[in-house]
Amino acid sequence: MSLLQLSDIRVSYGKAEVLHGVDLAMAEGRIVTVIGANGAGKTTLLNAAMGVVPSSGTILYRGKPVPPSVEGRVAAGMCLVSEKRELFGSMSVEDNMELGGFLRSASERAEARADLYDRFPRLKERRKQLAGTLSGGERQMLALARALMSRPKLLLLDEPSLGLAPKIVAEILGIVAELRSTGVSILLVEQNARAALEIADEAHLMELGEIRRSGSTDEMAADPAVVEAYLGGG
């Protein structure tokens, strides 16, 4: 049974259909990436899976239809980290993290926070600092930590490397890869195809609202069309 199964997903903005019958399935314990150019529909796919935008088609989570609301999907174990990160800049690092655990008890939040401070020591150092004063890499770490406060089983990550220096990209994606060992499955949307293929197990290439190619990351990294268009080959 798939952890997440998307079947014939279609999304329209006004009269313009931007996702054209997308099918995608992922098993538990995997990192699956969707790569493609800007405007291919990758973010829309994540938003549809999370219920942020209305869609048609079928979305199954652990073999059952997903709850209709975003809050219901969070309670079921899904969590989305938007490319905008959407932190509260005038609140402290710790208060931003607390918001991520709103469905958990005080003791569960305290345990999760301690675990996350071990994983993100920089956030522990800055726990009283306002989120708006953090660097780009630190803001991405905080966005991840806030999402993990809910103890998700499926993390939907939208462009975590966006706007970050190469060294910080490697650090952030290294953290993402480590999350798999904690029991978190990850659906990763990335424009940085090379970086995504290095940490994922499977990949889907999206172009113009459709999945055009799918396979293991090794297969995709060796595909001449993928190499030429997305990995700097040719």
pTM for this structure?
Answer: 0.92
Is the separation of the CB atoms in 186 and 176 below 8 Å? yes
- Cα 232 to Cα 136, 165, 226, 229: the distances in Å are 26, 18, 9, 7
pLDDT digits (tens, 9 = 90+) for 135-167: 999 999 999 999 999 999 999 999 998 888 888
pLDDT digits (tens, 9 = 90+) for 170-214: 888 998 999 988 899 999 998 889 999 999 999 999 999 999 999
Four-CA torsion 190, 195, 201, 205, nearest 10 degrees: 40
pLDDT digits (tens, 9 = 90+) for 20-77: 999 999 999 999 999 998 899 999 999 999 999 999 999 999 999 999 999 999 999 9
Concatenate the DSSP letters of all residues of 58-79 into one string. Answer: EEEETTEEPPSSHHHHHHHTEE
Is the separation of the CB atoms in 217 and 188 below 8 Å? no
Residue 228: pLDDT band (50, 70, 90) is: confident
DSSP state of 130: B
Give all domains of the chain, ordered by start, each with its CATH number: 1-77+152-234 (3.40.50.300), 84-151 (no CATH)
- Containing 110, the helix (H) or strand (E) segment is helix 106-119
Both structure tokens of 225: 């069309």
Is the separation of the CB atoms in 96 and 88 below 8 Å? yes
